[in-house]
């Protein structure tokens, strides 16, 4: 009799414990499901965020290209000079092993390098004769005016360094600041070579385009005076095929 | 109307989760209660703009708490969101006077959108 009584009490206790375990398990399962829901939302949000930032990057680059094209629309013969120079510049930056090529701001800078020319009068920009001193001064101001135009555009960051310093020379005889050697931002040093390469390999009203090998020789001869020798050396390592492709594809 | 959000759930984990999710979202003060009775007392003090009410709670359950809140004229502008465990509660939540319901496990994005909407 007593044993049965005790057994009944134990059984009741056991049933109570089992019910408690079931309840705790159910709560734990509910928490787990709730966390999974958070994880799923986080994943979706991340995917959307990634997509949106790609779209944003895309709109930046198309906007910047449109702006660069607007600058060049005045200049019939350069065609897609800015886009080509940007492509050459990126190829050069990659050959240098520099992380510049991964920075979208640098490409923006390459594209917009001459934006300040919108402030240079046609009479000076297209003057066939040599410029007078005041005219040359006005022409050279396009670097500073370019930076002023882009001043408030935060996403351009380092691009502004290219706009300001793309006419500096390794030997310090460039403009607008007369910077020399490492004081010139690397992106601007890379750009200088890319810009000359495009000028040499493009037909101009007063001369035909130089072949690539001749252009390479000219650029090599300017290492240490106009150009950073390290950039010229890296340029030597960029295969002809890569440069030809840029020249023919971006017309 | 006050800018407080009252979160009522007997599970402290869920309360913290909701509070963390809503932190700084619309400048709401976040208040927590563990059961219906505590919820009514806190609602009295803070006159919350939004109340999240779990259905299953000790002492006073969410449906009864909801009815009690709805009888209060000074809380006429308070929006009540019932946290339900499934479709079986939706009807009851509606009948008890809840404005909206959120089914558990809830989506944090839905929670944020809902607060954003109610806040504006």
Residue B90 burial (CB count, 10 A): 14
A77 — pLDDT class (breaks 50, 70, 90): low
B20 near A CB under 8 A: no
Question: Is A37's CB within 8 Å of B106's CB?
Answer: yes
Dump pLDDT digits (tens) for A104-135. Answer: 888 999 999 999 998 899 899 888 889 999 99
- pTM of the model as a whole: 0.69
Dump pLDDT digits (tens) for A232-244. Answer: 999 999 999 999 9
ipTM of the complex: 0.88
The pLDDT > 70 percentage for chain B reads 98
pLDDT at B107 exceeding the cut of 90: yes
Higher pLDDT among residues A75 and A59, named by residue = A59
Cα angle A221-A229-A172, degrees, rounded to a multiple of 5: 90
B104 near A CB under 8 A: yes
Question: Is A34's CB within 8 Å of B104's CB?
Answer: yes
Chain A positions with Cβ closer than 8 Å to B = 27, 30-31, 33-34, 36-38, 40-41, 44-45
Helix (H) or strand (E) holding A120: none
Q: How far apart are CA A56 and CA B98, in angstroms?
A: 41
Picking from A27, A33, A41, the nearest residue to B109 by CB comes out as A41
């Amino acid at each position: 009799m007593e044993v049965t009584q005790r057994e009944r009490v134990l059984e009741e206790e056991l049933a109570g414990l089992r019910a408690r375990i079931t309840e705790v398990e159910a709560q734990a399962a509910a928490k787990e499901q709730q966390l999974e829901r958070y994880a799923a939302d986080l994943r979706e949000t991340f995917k959307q965020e990634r997509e949106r930032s790609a779209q944003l990057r895309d709109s930046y680059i198309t906007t910047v290209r449109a702006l660069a094209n607007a600058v060049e629309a005045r200049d019939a013969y350069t065609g897609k000079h800015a886009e080509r120079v940007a492509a050459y510049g990126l190829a050069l930056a990659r050959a240098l092993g520099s992380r510049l090529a991964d920075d979208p701001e640098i490409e923006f800078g390459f594209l917009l390098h001459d934006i300040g020319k919108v402030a240079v009068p046609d009479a000076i920009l297209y003057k066939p004769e040599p410029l007078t001193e005041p005219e040359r001064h006005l022409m050279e101001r396009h670097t500073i005016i370019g930076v002023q135009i882009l001043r408030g555009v935060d996403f351009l960051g380092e691009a502004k360094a290219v706009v300001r310093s793309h006419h500096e020379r390794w030997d310090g005889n460039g403009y607008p600041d007369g910077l020399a050697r490492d004081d010139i931002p690397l992106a601007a040093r890379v750009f200088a070579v890319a810009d000359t390469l495009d000028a040499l390999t493009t037909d101009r009203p007063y001369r035909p385009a130089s072949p690539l090998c001749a252009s390479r020789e000219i650029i090599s001869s300017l290492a240490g005076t106009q150009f950073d020798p390290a950039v010229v050396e890296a340029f030597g390592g960029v295969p002809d095929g890569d440069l030809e492709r840029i020249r023919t594809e971006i017309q | 109307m006050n800018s407080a959000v009252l979160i009522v759930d007997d599970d402290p984990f869920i309360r913290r989760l909701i509070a963390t999710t809503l932190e700084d979202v619309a400048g709401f003060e976040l208040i927590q209660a563990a059961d219906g009775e505590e919820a009514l007392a806190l609602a009295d003090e803070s006159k919350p703009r939004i109340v999240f009410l779990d259905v299953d709670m000790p002492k006073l359950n969410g449906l009864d708490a909801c009815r009690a809140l709805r009888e209060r004229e000074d809380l006429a502008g308070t929006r009540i969101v019932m946290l339900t465990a499934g479709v079986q509660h939706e009807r009851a939540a509606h009948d008890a006077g809840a404005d909206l319901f959120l089914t558990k496990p809830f989506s944090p994005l839905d929670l944020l959108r809902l607060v954003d909407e109610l806040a504006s």
